[in-house]
Structure 1
Amino acid sequence: MQVSVETTSNIERRMTIGVPAQEIDQAVQKRLQETARTVRLNGFRPGKVPMSVVKRRFGASVRQEVVGEVMRDNYIKALQEQDINPAGWPQLEPKVMEEGKDLEFVATFEVLPEIELGDLSKINVEKPVSEVTDKDIDKMIDNLRRQQATMKEVKRKSKNKDIVTIDFKGYVDGEEFEGGSAEGHRLTLGSGQMIPGFEKAIVGGKAGEEFPIEVTFPEDYQSEDLAGKDAKFDIKIHKVEEPQLPEMTPEFFKQFGIEAEDEETFREEVKKNMERELKQAVSNKVKNDVVEGLLEVTELEVPNALVDQEIDRLRQDAVQRFGGQVDFQQLPKEIFQDQATRRVKTGLLFQEVVKANDLKAEPEQVDAKIQEIASTYEQPEEVIEHFNNNAEQKAQIESAVLEDAVVDHVLEQAKVKEKKMKYEEAVQAGQPQR
């Protein structure tokens, strides 16, 4: 086998491989002999078909099949000989494959990029500083109660947190616009579902009333045709409903997985959950900033093969989220391109930080992470045992610990600025980026 490798770009390689004709011809002859022993043709007894007939009928297809296998096998051997780590499967193209001539084929493929990390001291990280206050707990419990509320129709004027059933019809410059009308629409006043000013203008209205309101679409509104424009809506209120909040009883607490006999115990459990959420949000925000910083200070060309693989994973995830009713390949690849590229870049950069600094997921760190996760369950010992007895699940924990080690390493050199935030602001800041 003869091998030559050409570098066609930073991450693309073109490998030309030559295989002696004798190797191909022997493999073809052996395959034809096997075919002759099993093939059934009219006019011949099984196993008695002349080789000349077998070769005439099956020679071309057998040769093509053998050449495909030989190209695959020799490509793998060539990678091992040349000590090359490809990023994905190659494009194999035969150049010479005539009988009696040496096989020559070209394998075009991508390799993992050589990464030179940028200056980590130029990375800026904003770390939220927040706490869970009594007011935050009150608001959270109020939201939980409203999730379980029943509705009672009232005849009074509407107020914030009421649900109104309305018809509305919108106009811009005197003309109706697409998506600006609805009938029987249920709207929670004060929820922020509608454009600024819309809900506030309905507060105080009663069932049976009809009136116009005037609002202005935000400058950054998603529809460019409406952004920044004044609009008029004709409103008709059909019904006003007031939420009836459930009592704070042990039965109510159980609906949220909390065993408590009184409100004080329930508040403590809610606080613990909120503090865990806050801690995770701060961690997410810091990690997001670290990722953004690494991407900004490091030039990185990513193999298309890895991006395509990640796109397929994202498409499969999307199909599962929506009930698996369609083939994931029907989803356009383009809508996942940016997210997939970012994920691949992030993975490559984190791997480089790990390699360059010999970072490891220490056993005690992995155990601590497992115990932290287990503490949120009713039977933590069972959760710990599950992770320790499931190699795949434990490997995921080890990966998470290693990611934390990368973030910590970058933070040691980055510029970290703390910023005071309210609880809701901090949680919002920690939402994962796509």
Structure 2
Amino acid sequence: MTHTITETGPFERLVKFRISEEAINEAKKVAARRLSEGIKIRGFRPGKAPLPIVEATVGADRVRKEAIDEALPKVLEEILEEQDLQPAVRPRLESLNEEEGAVEAEVRITLWPTIETPNYKDRKIVVTNPEVTDEELEENIKRMLEQFGTVEEVDRPAGEGDFVSIDITATKDGEEVEGATVSDLLYEVGSGGFLEGADEHLTGKKARDVVEFNGPLPSGFGERAGEEVLFKITLNEVKERVLPELDDEWVDENTEFETVEELREALREQLRDVKVRAAAREFSEKALSTLRDEVDIEIPDGLIEAEANDIIHNFLHRLEDAELSLEDYFRATGTNSDVLVADAKEQAKVSILNRLVLESIVEAEGITVTEEELSNAVQALAARSGDPVRFIKAFRQAGQELALAGDILRNRALDVILSNASPVDEDGNPLDLTIQGQDVVGEVVSDEVVEGEVVALEEEE
């Protein structure tokens, strides 16, 4: 088999090879059989018409084209196996030229990059201190009291945190905007979850005041969202929030605790649990990103493009599940297709670098996964799917075992990184990322691979 392989980049090769006339003629038989299965040829059953009859029916050129499409990947596969080359993405056909009955082809392949394993031993990773400050505790208590609070009318200008009862109208060129008229809306001044510019105009105003200002229609107005209109807001009432007094009696009547001190300690513990989990995730992400940032490598464009396409495909699938169109997303975010593609490519680079780092550690540490462990992982996935029998069948039909094994290996490599790193605060002091003596870092990381595989398989289905 005549072929040449040229290195066109650190991880790219251009494979030039010849498909002989004999190979094409042999492939014509397969092509004719496949073509005849989809057309009716008088006197022959589907798939049984001989080559000359099929050529006469659909044309010799079409049969030859189908034959080349049949033969080319097989010839390329033989060459790559012989040279022990494994493309990371689908090979790209660069040229195809006829030559005396044979065909000369040029195919560009992208190989999976390799890197030197970065030093992952004895790392100190700076993360947010999970200890709860007095200010955080008081803010949390205030939010709890607000849930039990009342509002009372006051005779003074509205300020941040006050509630106002308002009527709203919107007009465009003197015409009222349909759906933009609201009466007796109770709104918290300064909450920011309202019309753009409304907080600024409402602050300092009293009951019966009227304010007018230009601003964009909010996202709920579909195609008209963002359109500049004239808003008119009439203040009917100004109300202030009145919070209950925090004492032992109130705590005993409204919570599961008996005293203010018990409540404070319980809230502090709950807040710390939340902050510890957040810090554990930050620790995991930073431990990997620190190593990733030390990798100096030019990722092949073909690999980035393929990974970005997968990211976009999965994103579109999630939009579809949410019954949203891409146009809806662009309107809500103020972005466009160029931004979407650029973001996907950046995500692709991070994903590829993460994989390179983790796989280098898999090799360095000699990490393995047994058949029993893989089987147990599949069973765990199936148990989460809601239909275990159907899931396992679909999983195996999709050939996902190898992908799952790779994810398990990379997850174990991440465990190695984390076990060799220490979380510290900004001053370099060690941090405790446990909850009641239990390691949270491993708990936060452990489910990510399994959940990712379930999602990936569902998207393929």
TM more than 0.5? yes
1:90 corresponds to which residue?
91
Matched, 1:278 2:275: yes
* 1:399 CA displacement: 5.2
1:325 aligns to what? 324
Q: Which residue of structure 2 aligns with residue 287 of structure 1?
A: 284
- Give CA deviations for 1:146-174 in whole Å, capped at 9, x if unaligned: 4x568746234345432346799xxxxxx
- Which runs of structure 2 are paired with 1:198-217 in the superposition (5 Å)? 205-209=205-209
* Residue number in structure 2 paired with 1:173: none
TM-fit CA distance, 1:206: 3.1
Matches within 5 A, 1:345-424: 345-359=353-367, 386=383, 400-409=411-420, 417-418=428-429
Q: 234-243 vs 284-293, which deviates more?
A: 234-243
Matches within 5 A, 1:8-47: 8-29=8-29, 31-32=31-32, 40=40, 45-46=43-44
CA distance in 1, matches of 2:284, 2:206: 49
Give the superposition deviation at 1:9: 0.6
CA deviation vs aligned residue, 1:219-264 (integer Å, no higher than 9, x gap): xxxxxxxxxxxxxxx99755434457799899988xxxxxx57688
Moved more, 47-56 or 134-143: 47-56
Distance in 1, matches of 2:16 and 2:137, equals 67
- C-alpha contact (below 8 Å) 1:307/1:341 kept by paired residues: yes
The SS at the match of 1:112 is: coil
Structure 1 position 313, deviation (Å): 4.2
Deviation track 1:99-154 (CA, whole Å, cap 9, x = no partner) reads x63333222121111212456689873233331356534433543564x5687462
CA pair 307-266 structure 1, distance change in 2 beyond 3 A: farther
Of 48-57 and 86-95, deviating more is 48-57
Indicate the residue corresponding to 2:300 in structure 1.
303
Residue number in structure 1 paired with 2:110: 110
Give the letter aligned to residue 409 of structure 1.
N
1:25-174 paired onto structure 2 within 5 Å: 25-29=25-29, 31-32=31-32, 40=40, 45-46=43-44, 52-58=52-58, 59-93=60-94, 95-97=96-98, 101-117=101-117, 125-133=125-133, 136-144=136-144, 146=146, 152=151, 154-157=153-156, 158-164=158-164
Q: Once the 2 structures are TM-superposed, how far is the Cα of residue 325 of structure 1 from its aligned partner?
A: 2.7
Match of 1:129, SS? coil
CA RMSD of aligned residues (A): 5.5
What is the percent sequence identity of the aligned residues?
19
Partners in 2 of 1:183 and 1:141 — Cα distance?
A: 36
After the TM superposition, which residues 338-349 of structure 1 pair with which residues of structure 2 at under 5 Å, given as runs? 338-349=346-357
How far apart, in 1, do the equivalents of 2:266 and 2:254 lie? Answer: 14
- In the superposition, the TM-score normalised over structure 1's length comes to 0.61
Letter in 1 for 2:364: A
User: How far did residue 14 of structure 1 move?
Assistant: 0.9
Mapped contact 2:299–2:349 kept (Cα < 8 A): yes
Letter in 2 for 1:56: A
8 Å CA contact 2:154, 2:240 repeated in 1? no
Contact 2:31–2:66 under 8 Å retained in 1: no
Match of 1:109, SS state, is strand
3-state SS of the aligned residue for 2:315?
A: helix
**219, 238, 241: which one pairs with 1:240?**
238
Q: 1:66 to 1:8 in 2, by over 3 A?
A: same
Task: Give, as a single letter, the amino acid of the residue that structure 1 aligns with 2:296.
Answer: E
TM-score (norm 2): 0.58
- C-alpha distance in 1 between matches for 2:382 and 2:253: 31
**Using a 3 Å threshold, how does the CA distance of structure 1 residues 209 and 88 change in structure 2: closer, same or farther?**
same
Cα distance change on mapping 1:39 and 1:167 into 2, 3 Å: closer
Q: Look up the SS of the partner of 1:113 in the other structure.
A: coil
Distance 2:347 2:124 in 1: 22
